[in-house]
Amino acid sequence: MFEMFEYDFMQRAFIAGIIIAILASISGTFIVLKRYSLIGETLAHSALLGVAIGLVAEYNPLWMAVIFALFSAWLIEYLRSAFSIYSDAILAILLSGSLALAIIIVSLGGAFNNSLFSYLFGSILSVSSEDIIVISIFGVISLVTLLLFSKEFYFIAYDEEVAKTSGIKVNLLNFLLVSVVAVIIALSIRVVGSLLISALMIIPTISALQFRVGFLKTVIFSLIIALFSVMAGMTISFYFSLPSGATIVMCVLFIFIISLITNRR
């Protein structure tokens, strides 16, 4: 089993995967509690649009993914707060619009190649040393932000109106939370893929919630589920030559089914 770590690309993939699992599971807890689960899928498609532009224009796709995911996150929060549009409607519009634009751009630019598919479905082979450095730096910043404002995010997730009356700057913190989520998603698509990253962010939290424990234990359970799924999924991916993102998500779904059965009993 451990012979796969003799390869540098597997070492890089596991480092990136562990960082992403930590970030996705913790941020996903706040997203699920806010009933904002679809935002992960929306920002992933926005990041894919950035990747498409990066590939066609020959810019760094990872940086373009971060920029477009951030812009979409800010646009979502602005439309939600300024125009009182339902959140799910905004997310659906941006999700479909971003995907449509990405398809048009890559079609016009002839960028339908292995690089694009690695961003769509994830590829352990595509994680470079530069990616590890970028993921580590932004990962630390994102994790510190989540931990520093964890109480405020938790309060807002349960009741924004009460949080406002308590003097908490709800709008600012909402912008901060979606910004962190956007960065995490953009960094994750090299390993998990833009079509699957939302599952890694949402399903571990939903699985942990089935055990009906406190908030802190839910975060810990979600983290354990995400870490196990990433490590098991990458191992399966290596030995059976399967896309890493798909195998990771299947592991998460398997654990979710187990949590449902356990809760039922």
Tell me the pLDDT tens digit for each residue of 86-142. Answer: 677 888 888 888 888 888 887 776 655 556 777 777 776 678 888 888 889 988 999
Report the pLDDT value the prediction gives residue 23, as an integer from 0 to 100: 93
Report the pLDDT value the prediction gives residue 55, as an integer from 0 to 100: 81
Residues in CB range of 159: below 8 A, 6 or more apart: none
User: What is the count of structural domains for the chain?
Assistant: 1
State which residues form the domain around 92: 2-195
137 within a domain of the structure (yes/no): yes
226 within a domain of the structure (yes/no): no
Residues in CB range of 2: below 8 A, 6 or more apart: none
22 within a domain of the structure (yes/no): yes
**Exposure pattern of 205-233 as b/e (b: 16+ CB <10 Å)?**
bbbbbbeeeeeeebbbbbbebbbebbbbb
57 within a domain of the structure (yes/no): yes
Structure tokens given for 129: 């040393």
30 within a domain of the structure (yes/no): yes
Is 31 within 8 Å of 40 (Cβ atoms)? yes
Looking up residue 166, the CATH number of its domain turns out to be 1.10.3470.10
The whole-model pTM stands at 0.88
Q: What is the pLDDT along the chain (265 residues), one digit of tens a residue?
A: 667 788 888 888 889 889 999 999 999 999 998 888 888 888 988 888 888 888 888 788 888 888 999 999 999 888 887 776 667 788 888 888 888 888 888 777 665 555 677 777 777 667 888 888 888 998 899 999 999 999 999 888 887 888 888 888 888 998 999 999 999 998 888 778 877 888 889 999 999 998 888 888 999 999 999 999 999 998 998 888 888 888 999 999 999 999 988 877 6
67 within a domain of the structure (yes/no): yes
77 within a domain of the structure (yes/no): yes
224 within a domain of the structure (yes/no): no
- How far is it, in rounded angstroms, from Cα 227 to Cα 223? 6
